[in-house]
Chain A
Amino acid sequence: MVSPLPPFDPEASSKFFFKHGHTGWLGLEYSDHGENWVELKLPWREDLLGDADRPILASGPIVSLMDMASGMSIWTTMKTFNPVATLDLRVDYQRPAREHCAVIGRAECYRITRSAAFVRGIAYDDDIDDPVAHIAGVFMTIGKDPRSGTI
């Protein structure tokens, strides 16, 4: 009998998630979380600009930020680290992110079925009521928590 695993902890996991790979390169940071949501921060960086004419953050890093916050909101809601695959992710850009501002991504998992998880969220810089983008995503659970050792 496997002893129960501790619930998924978004703050503690961030230390591992953002140490390597794409999210490490972006420099994502843990910001906050609740029962079914996670907030991450994408610090401002000159080499992530997406427009030759204006100092505007590219939209690609915002997709990465929201994809990661979405996955973590699902694990936070389920309380387990079951691997999930993104089926689709939609981003509606409301306005450019402000120059020299970090972008915060807040994703909320509002529904989980046996095999799918539904997420919505916003990206914002200095005012949560004036978002940079709205997102909606659907994810599929593809296995058990690897920490249980019984994948």
Chain B
Amino acid sequence: MAQSDQSGGDNASEKAMTAQLPHYAQSLGIKVSEFEDGLPVLTVEFGPMVEGRPGAFHGGATSGLLENAGYAALRAVLIAEDRDPQLKPINITVQFLSAGKNKPTFAKGRITRLGRRNANVSVEAWQDDRSRPIATAIMNILMAERME
């Protein structure tokens, strides 16, 4: 398992964590922009790949960013606890609050509850003004121990 440096927001650790994002996230151009209190902030630029209505993010693309931010936050917390389970999605509920405009979007997850088998994660996505999120999500993620 790759070691992740969470000592700060240096460029190397963000690049390393971006490289660990799933294929889907990388295909969509999602990147780790920085770490805040050990938790990654993910970002995606506006472009044709994420466009729904002209000039606006597609809800599915916003959901993809939220979901990846949720997994990345959980992974960061698990690494800090020296745990490496397989993560499986149970469910996600996305609330769309306002249209994502043609500018970069950011998202950060927060672990609401970390159990042995289930994690409850809440995620917010925003653009210019962090106090006005464009979408939020609640996710339940199953953590399965790896079979050797």
Contact = CB atoms under 8 A, between A and B. Distances in A.
User: Chain A interface residue count: which class?
Assistant: 35 or more
A144 to B, nearest CB: 15
B38 interface: no
Given A22-B61, A64-B60, A47 B23 contact: yes
A112 interface: no
Contacts of A49: 22-24
A88 B20 CA distance: 29
Contacts of B96: 85-89
B58 A23 contact: yes
B63 A64 contact: yes
Interface in A5-23: 20-23
A91 B61 contact: no
A48 interface: yes
B86 to A, nearest CB: 6
A68 B67 CA distance: 18
B107 to A, nearest CB: 12
Interface string A35-63: 00000000000111111110000111101
A88 B93 contact: yes
Interface of A: 20-26, 46-53, 58-61, 63-65, 67-68, 83, 85-93, 96
